[in-house]
Chain A
């Protein structure tokens, strides 16, 4: 690759726009389910504090949803504008999967989001809860379609290639391709974890400033239970996902492990740290534990899996990137488990709400879930290289024939616009969380819903009615 050619710029553009985008759906998936749980407990127990938290987290949910829609609109066009050869070739499979995602999302937005955001006083608690459940289900369905499409690109099956394009033959096999179940569960668990960590960090921020009230305590407590369950489960799911990768995408796995070649009759060590060098075909400065790689990936002490040298040079993913992105993800995951164990150990006597070192740790871990999601996606997407559709189409074959100047111009434009718009949106989100849930938050909630003036019906208008929350002032740094 000679510097920044059009292909590289198109890849950077996709990575940039999708990385910005994925943050918001991840929060939406996690928050929608969290809201459904809060409302369910409120309906069952009648305890006001659950409704308080529901009303409070509805606002960040609304902002995240709106940001997800706006950044998703751009994604819908990226395939055609920047990856037209891929769209023409694989549109038969990826087109319908994306279209179903759009249809699902519209159905959810059109039917239930308005009721969920503004209909509490208008439709009664039972129907309102149904709307919340449908929205939560809708976010999960959207994720299912998108991950089916991505997983098919990772482990394609159920199709034929006729007249130079992909033709779906068996939709069940296309959708339920080998990596799909693992990727779906891994991503949904990651969304739940990322949300729980953000909620915990919000609570920690308030507790550290002496704002100790029942909703804030409940936030921290629920988030820690979620992390205690989800973080270890995620480790197991991740391990299974890794075994699946070993079977179907061995080159990706070798690159993740910085594993170049096997010594006959000997187990593969686990390289903890090192610098994979694609030219020298070795991982330099490796700190390794003998046989542990075999144990983890083959569940035996002397099992072997292919090293990178067994693949032609042009078929090797860039090991330095995926080696490190994988370790960042795993490292953050281990920190999440530590946070959950520490926090839950401090529960006795309520010390968890007062321990400053713990609260500082929880605050620092606020963005960890989102960072782990980005690191994980970098691992799986860069690890698929040089393939766009694994074993079927190379990335270089899928790109549109634009000049570097054009792609560079639009990339710069997207960076500028995203920094402005999503920067303002993110600051806005943080301001809402910084305001924190009040006791009896639910008594101050605004009545609303289609049919009345003076209220919103759409995502971001659910967020704030407070002039001081102005995103314009956030954008200009006031």
Chain B
């Protein structure tokens, strides 16, 4: 290339960062929708929604950023992956549309019609999360490509592993939502959130363990990657850390003094899981064998867009941080920002 910068690598980092931001940030607000069916009073639900109402749409922008980045930097991956997971992605979008409008309309609906938007909110959150997980699971299983196009079945995602990962992601986001609400709530709701989060943390550990066993067993390529030297040294700390963090999280959920730490520990779990996926896939952007350099778009496109991305992404991060700072603290019943 002769430019001196490895553009596909830089873009891979930007996209990985955007997806990570998305999982962390939209994860906890989708999680609140997932927890909705377990909290039935209007007051509890008002508080739960109000803790994320000022920030949720900023969180979703990272999904668009990741998608646009993929289109720019790896058009082949954008084309192949999006058409491979056509149905789950469309269902995910429909879920996000319903959830997004429910945020606005629920607070304006009359008493006897609120249930419509309550269901839209919870249902949309479940659908969006589950189908994201299904897409992730199908992606991990590998995406067959022939002549630059997806060569698999339109229903390849309708298999045990992707569906299982879909459920796993529901548990992940639920725990993110539960521990987020531990920070943002108080009183009986706060105590119930701790109890729910304790259960969810065990459930998530079980899912992580199952996926970690299932992946190498079903995919020899991943197994080889994990258990060969020197990769094993890099990878070995991950499961150990997952167990340690889970135990620490359980302890903190029991101790009434800490409020923010459970959420931070859950973020650590998510990050560990994410890095585990990264180790399994790197440097492929279409598993099992198309690398970021093979799928990269023309350098003129990557370079041209990088200028704008490096200029604007820091500004978005700064504004986002400011928004969270401004809306910090507990949210009390009857104190919705919608008034």
Q: Is A126 an interface residue (CB 8 A)?
A: no
CB distance from B180 to the nearest CB of A (A): 17
Within 8 A of A (CB), among B112-154: 113-114, 116-117, 148-150, 154
Docked complex: A173-214 residues within 8 A CB-CB of B: none
Contact of B300 with A467 in the complex, beta carbons under 8 Å? no
A101's nearest neighbour on chain B, judged by CB, is B68
- Among A100, A169, A453, the one with the most B-chain Cβ atoms within 10 Å of its Cβ is A453
Interface size of B as a range: 35 or more
Interface residues on chain A, number (Cβ under 8 Å): 78
A87 touches B149 (CB 8 A): no
Contact A168 B304 (CB under 8 A): yes
Question: Beyond A98-B71, A168-B304, is A110–B108 a contact (Cβ under 8 Å)?
Answer: no
Is residue A476 within 8 Å, beta carbon to beta carbon, of the partner chain? yes
CB-CB under 8 A from B53, the residues of chain A are 456, 458, 461
Question: Please, what's the 1-or-0 string for A445-478, where 1 marks a CB less than 8 Å from any CB in chain B?
Answer: 0100011111111111101111101111101100
Are A88 and B98 in contact, with the CB atoms below 8 A?
no
Q: Which of B76, B97, B109 contacts A473 (CB 8 A)?
A: B109
Partner of A406, one of B86, B108, B309: B86
Q: Do residues A417 and B94 form an inter-chain contact, with CB atoms below 8 A?
A: yes
Bound CA span A454–B83, Å = 43
Contact B79 A84 (CB under 8 A): yes
**A110 touching B109 by the CB < 8 A rule?**
no
Main secondary structure of the interface of B (DSSP, over half): helix
Residue B277 at the A interface, CB < 8 A?
no
Q: Does B82 contact A (CB under 8 A)?
A: yes
Which B residues touch A402, using CB under 8 A?
A: 83, 86, 154
CA distance A82 to B117 in the complex (A): 30
Q: Could you say which of A89-97, A221-229, A350-358, A366-374 contacts chain B? A: A89-97
A464 touches B89 (CB 8 A): no
Q: How distant is A258 from chain B, measured CB to nearest CB, in Å? A: 37
Instruction: Establish whether residues A84 and B82, one from each chain, have CB atoms under 8 Å apart when the complex forms.
Output: yes
Closest chain B CB from A403 CB (angstroms): 6
Interface-located stretch among A44-52, A71-79, A249-257, A277-285: A71-79
In the assembly, what is the distance between CA of A471 and CA of B60, in Å? 23
Q: Closest CB of chain A to B87's CB: distance in Å?
A: 7
| Given A81-B90, A450-B323, A472-B110: A70 and B101 interface contact (C-beta under 8 Å) | yes
* Chain B proximity of A149: nearest CB distance (Å): 11
Query: Given the complex, which residues of B lie within 8 Å of A87, measured CB to CB?
Result: 71, 75, 78-79, 82
Are A81 and B148 in contact (CB-based, < 8 A)? no
Q: Which of A109, A453, A467 contacts B335 (CB 8 A)?
A: A453
Min C-beta distance of A116 to chain B, whole Å: 14
Contact between A471 and B108 (Cβ–Cβ < 8 Å)? yes
Interchain CB contact under 8 A, A110 and B64:
no
B335 / chain A contacts, CB cutoff of 8 Å:
453-454
B278, CB-defined interface residue at 8 Å: no
- For residue B249, CB closer than 8 A to chain A, the reply is no
Chain B interface residues (CB < 8 Å from chain A)? 53-54, 57-58, 60-61, 63-65, 67-69, 71-73, 75-76, 78-83, 86-87, 89-91, 93-94, 96-98, 100-101, 104-105, 107-110, 113-114, 116-117, 148-150, 154, 297-298, 300-301, 304-305, 308-309, 312, 315-316, 319-320, 322-323, 326-327, 331, 335-339
Known: A76-B64, A84-B82, A95-B71. 17 other contacts (CB 8 A): A73-B97, A76-B67, A80-B71, A88-B75, A88-B78, A90-B75, A95-B78, A96-B301, A102-B65, A103-B312, A168-B298, A406-B86, A421-B97, A453-B336, A454-B336, A457-B337, A472-B113
A: which residues have CB within 8 A of B? 66, 69-70, 73-74, 76-77, 79-82, 84-85, 87-88, 90-96, 98-100, 102-103, 106-107, 109-111, 162, 164-169, 171, 400-403, 406, 409-410, 413-414, 417, 421, 424-425, 446, 450-461, 463-467, 469-473, 475-476
Q: List 11 A-B contacts (CB under 8 A).
A: A66-B104, A73-B93, A88-B78, A95-B71, A102-B65, A417-B98, A456-B338, A464-B108, A471-B105, A473-B109, A476-B113
